[in-house]
Structure 1
Amino acid sequence: MNRQIKVLGKVQGVFFRKSTQKKAVELGLTGWVKNEEDGSVLVEIEGDLHSILAMQSWLRLGPPNAEVKELEISNADEKGYEDFLILQ
């Protein structure tokens, strides 16, 4: 299962990508996270439904200094990622 999630709010400059990577690895998810030019963070995750739903719940809060306003969630085709990376 694959989900692409755009996280909107105060989500850059608050260790959001590193925290997201840590949580994804903890949940056994693969994929990536990156900052977008519009100030949002884009996450693509693959794994089982339970882990993806747990990650979505975590993303609604984010790390301590983040202020998440909204998640835009869409389904995508599985890509077969092996790791969870932070992209530039």
Structure 2
Amino acid sequence: MNRQIRVCGKVQGVFFRKSTQQKALELGLKGWVKNEPDGTVLVEIEGDLHSILAMQSWLRLGPPQAEVEELEIITGEERNYEDFLILQ
């Protein structure tokens, strides 16, 4: 199962990518996270439904310094990622 999630709000410069990577690895998810030029954070995750739903719940809050306003969630095609990476 694959989800692409755009996280909107105060989500850059607050350790969002590193925290997202840690949570994804904890949940056994694969994929990546990166900052976007428009100030959002884009996350692509793959795994079982339970883990993806847990990650979506966590992304609604983010790390302590973040102020998440909205999640835009799209179901995508599985790409069979090997790990969870922070992209530049």
TM class, shorter-length: over 0.9
| Matched-pair identity in % | 83
In structure 2, what residue type is equivalent to 1:42? L
In structure 2, what residue type is equivalent to 1:12? Q
Q: CA RMSD in A?
A: 0.1
Gaps of 5+ in 2: none
C-alpha offsets along residues 26-64 of structure 1, whole Å, 9 cap, x if unaligned?
000000000000000000000000000000000000000
Report the equivalent of 1:9: 9
**In the alignment, structure 1 residue 79 sits paired with structure 2 residue 79:** yes
In structure 1, what residue type is equivalent to 2:55? M
**TM-score of the superposed pair, with normalisation by structure 2:** 1.00
Aligned length: 88
Distance in 2 between residues matched to 1:34 and 1:73, nearest whole Å: 15
- TM-superposed CA distance for 1:18, in Å, is 0.1
Structure 1 outlier segments of 4+, above 3 Å: none
Counterpart secondary structure, 2:60:
helix
In structure 2, what residue type is equivalent to 1:29? L
* 1:1-88 correspondence runs (5 A): 1-88=1-88
